[in-house]
Amino acid sequence: MATMHADARNQLPTEAQTARIEALVEAIPAATHPESLALIAFWEKHHINGRVLRRADLPCREAAPLLPNVFVLQPTDETATDWRLRLVGTKLTRWLDFDPTGLTISGFYHPDHVAENAEVYRMVTRDRRPHVTQGRLGGVNRDFLKLEIVHLPMEGASVDEMLLLGCISVFEQ
């Protein structure tokens, strides 16, 4: 992976500059990391009358401490075989050494990991239930870190538009 300089962080990286992430994770029954638990608590608080958290509820003071670890994905079309990163928190962009906002998962993940991740995102948004994994991400020179990844359904501009709200929490070594 090419390293991007700090002044280039706001620019969309080219494919040659983009890591090809390998998700080396396993599903777990429930989150355990404090940052993951905080996001889930926020999501549950805004899960009202059978409706999940709305995107409009996310940018608020209450959510501010959560945002550095958060990402938001949107399906690129109705098949949801590819998803676009709409928001990537500052802690995650520093960790990756570039800002992947605007990239699709087909341009971000290793090709062997795109379909499996897209299926998880479809399941979360279709079933409107959380999905939590733990493990490591390969391809970013941080594969020594143990991570917890939370995936939550979130309403977009309307009740019919489902997005995926996620968070990556790093365990202390």
Read off the pLDDT of residues 68-110 as tens digits, 9 standing for 90 and up. Answer: 999 999 999 999 999 999 999 999 998 888 899 999 999 988 8
Low-confidence ranges of the chain (pLDDT < 50): 1-12, 15-17
Structure tokens at 138: 């390969």
Can you give the pLDDT at residue 59? 76
Can you give the pLDDT at residue 16? 42
**How far is residue 42's CA from residue 34's CA, in Å, rounded to a whole number?**
12
Query: What's the mean pLDDT when you consider all of the chain?
Result: 87
Can you give the pLDDT at residue 18? 55
Can you give the pLDDT at residue 19? 54
DSSP string, 62-109: GGGGGGGGEEEEEESSTT-SSEEEEEE-HHHHHHHTS--TT-BHHHHB
